[in-house]
């Protein structure tokens, strides 16, 4: 990996943090100007789709080869799912992964090898967002989004699993837990946005100019880096994951994707499954210490603020986080 003028090597994790900030800020702006109902996510041109698919394939190449590729039909479209079967662990409940906004399955490249040491894994591309899932029916709200996840799990004959979500995927995982708890052996929320609290005011205010389409791209990038607490030199735009996310953000219209909804105190107290919550110490988009305190309302909750991390927590501390998660999952078979 190339070094920059500061002598530091660009890292791959900041791009996921910036993608989340960009997506959330852009969706906030769209809410202000939207006049119609929810739409169906789509690529803006056939050429853009082909370019994105090439970038996706390159980023996906950093993952272990999947055992099988599935296209699962649901009421809202076809969900692309990859499975990695752990032959030596036939009785262990599988893990189901829901990625953050714009990140798709390739975001799990740093974590997947660790999970596969112990259990089978299914990774979903989100309907209505970038990735290779094909949405055909609008999602009216987060309840509809939870429904397609439940239907996809049923279509894969997953009776019970450890559900894991990062960022917006964390909010989606929480919605599934509230509406379809019987599916879950456990729930893991990694920096779940708009789920345990609102976005930090500093992010909301800073994201307003970042979201304005008429500003120069260099201003937008500098603003995103400032929000994420990332130096310009730390982001490598040539990283395959970064290239895939950037192309998706430019070419895919996901304005109809419903944002997560904040769980009520009653919903948190009623969650019947064990829950692991990971919150970043710095640049948290989940709500930081306030979100961690809110999560304590869950009856069976393990809550941790990971030191020296940002919203890209699952990449920054992949091995220690994954080791802790396996211990958590093993305690709740």
Cβ neighbourhood burial of 112 (10 Å; 0-12, 13-18, 19+): buried
231 to each of 169, 191, 234, how far by Cα in Å? Answer: 26, 21, 5
Which region among 75-89, 195-209, 307-321 has the lowest average model confidence (pLDDT)?
Answer: 195-209
Q: Is 134 helix (H, G, I), strand (E, B) or coil?
A: strand
What whole-number distance in Å separates Cα of residue 333 and Cα of residue 331? 6
pLDDT band at residue 217, thresholds of 50, 70 and 90? low
Q: Is 230 helix (H, G, I), strand (E, B) or coil?
A: coil
Section 98-122 average pLDDT = 94
> What are phi and psi for residue 190, nearest 5 degrees?
-110, 110
Residue 248: name the closest of 61, 18, 19, 33 by CA: 19
CB count, 10 Å around CB of 89? 14
Section 267-279 average pLDDT = 98
What is the domain partition of the chain in residue ranges? 14-330
pLDDT band at residue 102, thresholds of 50, 70 and 90? confident
Tens of pLDDT, residues 5-61: 434 444 544 555 555 555 555 444 333 333 345 789 999 999 999 999 999 999 999
Residue 14: name the closest of 328, 230, 304 by CA: 230
- Contact in structure between 261 and 194 (CB atoms under 8 Å): yes
Q: What is the overall mean pLDDT for the chain?
A: 85
What whole-number distance in Å separates Cα of residue 309 and Cα of residue 76? 35
Q: Is the pLDDT of residue 3 over 50?
A: no
Which region among 127-136, 233-242, 287-296 has the lowest average model confidence (pLDDT)?
Answer: 233-242
What whole-number distance in Å separates Cα of residue 78 and Cα of residue 133? 6
The pLDDT of residue 35 is 39
Domain 14-330, CATH number (from 3.40.1520.20, 3.30.70.1140, 3.40.50.800, 3.40.50.1820) = 3.40.50.1820
Q: Is the pLDDT of residue 103 over 70?
A: yes
The pLDDT of residue 198 is 81
3-state helix, strand, coil in the chain (%, to 5): 40, 15, 40
- Rounded to two decimals, the pTM is 0.89
The pLDDT of residue 9 is 42
Q: Kindly report the CA angle at 260 between 83 and 213, in degrees rounded to 5?
A: 100
The pLDDT of residue 140 is 94
What whole-number distance in Å separates Cα of residue 116 and Cα of residue 86? 6
The pLDDT of residue 229 is 53
Q: Kindly report the CA angle at 215 between 211 and 219, in degrees rounded to 5?
A: 85
> What are phi and psi for residue 270, nearest 5 degrees?
-90, -5
Section 166-177 average pLDDT = 96
Tens of pLDDT, residues 47-65: 999 999 999 999 999 999 9
Q: Is the pLDDT of residue 232 over 70?
A: no
Section 179-194 average pLDDT = 96
For residues 232 and 272, the model is more confident at: 272
Task: Kindly state the percentage of the chain with pLDDT values over 90.
Answer: 63
Strand 275-280, strand 68-74: pairing: unpaired
Q: Is the pLDDT of residue 80 over 70?
A: yes
The pLDDT of residue 160 is 96
What whole-number distance in Å separates Cα of residue 89 and Cα of residue 317? 25
Separate counts of helices (H) and strands (E) for the chain? 12, 11
What whole-number distance in Å separates Cα of residue 326 and Cα of residue 162? 10
CB count, 10 Å around CB of 281? 14
- Contact in structure between 120 and 86 (CB atoms under 8 Å): yes
What whole-number distance in Å separates Cα of residue 230 and Cα of residue 294? 27
């Amino acid at each position: 990996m190339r070094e920059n003028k500061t002598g530091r090597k660009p890292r791959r994790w900041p791009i996921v943090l910036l993608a989340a900030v960009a997506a959330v800020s852009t969706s906030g702006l769209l809410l202000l100007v939207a006049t119609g109902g929810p739409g169906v996510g789509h690529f803006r041109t056939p050429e853009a789709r082909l370019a994105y698919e090439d970038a996706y394939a390159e980023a996906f190449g950093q993952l272990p080869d999947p055992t099988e590729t599935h296209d699962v039909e649901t009421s809202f479209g076809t969900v692309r799912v990859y499975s990695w079967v752990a032959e030596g662990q036939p009785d262990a409940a599988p893990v189901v992964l829901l990625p953050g906004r714009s990140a798709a399955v390739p975001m799990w490249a740093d974590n997947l090898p660790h999970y596969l040491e112990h259990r089978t894994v299914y990774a979903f591309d989100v309907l209505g967002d970038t990735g290779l899932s094909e949405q055909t029916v609008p999602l009216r709200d987060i309840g509809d989004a939870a429904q397609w996840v439940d239907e996809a799990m049923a279509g894969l004959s997953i009776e019970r699993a450890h559900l894991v979500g990062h960022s917006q995927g964390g909010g989606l995982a929480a919605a599934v837990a509230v509406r379809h708890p019987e599916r879950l052996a456990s729930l893991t929320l990694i920096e779940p946005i708009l789920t345990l609290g609102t976005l930090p005011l500093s992010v909301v205010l800073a994201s307003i100019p970042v979201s304005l389409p008429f500003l120069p791209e260099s201003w937008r990038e500098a603003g995103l880096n400032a929000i994420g607490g990332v130096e310009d030199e730390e982001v490598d735009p040539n990283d395959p994951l970064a290239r895939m996310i950037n192309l998706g953000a430019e070419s895919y219209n996901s304005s109809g994707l419903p944002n997560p909804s904040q769980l009520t105190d009653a919903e948190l107290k009623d969650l019947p499954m064990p829950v692991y919550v990971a919150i970043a110490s710095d640049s948290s988009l989940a709500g930081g210490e306030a979100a961690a305190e809110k999560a304590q309302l869950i009856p069976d909750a393990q809550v941790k603020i990971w030191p020296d991390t940002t919203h890209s927590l699952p990449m920054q501390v992949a091995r220690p986080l994954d080791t802790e998660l396996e211990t958590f999952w093993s305690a709740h078979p």
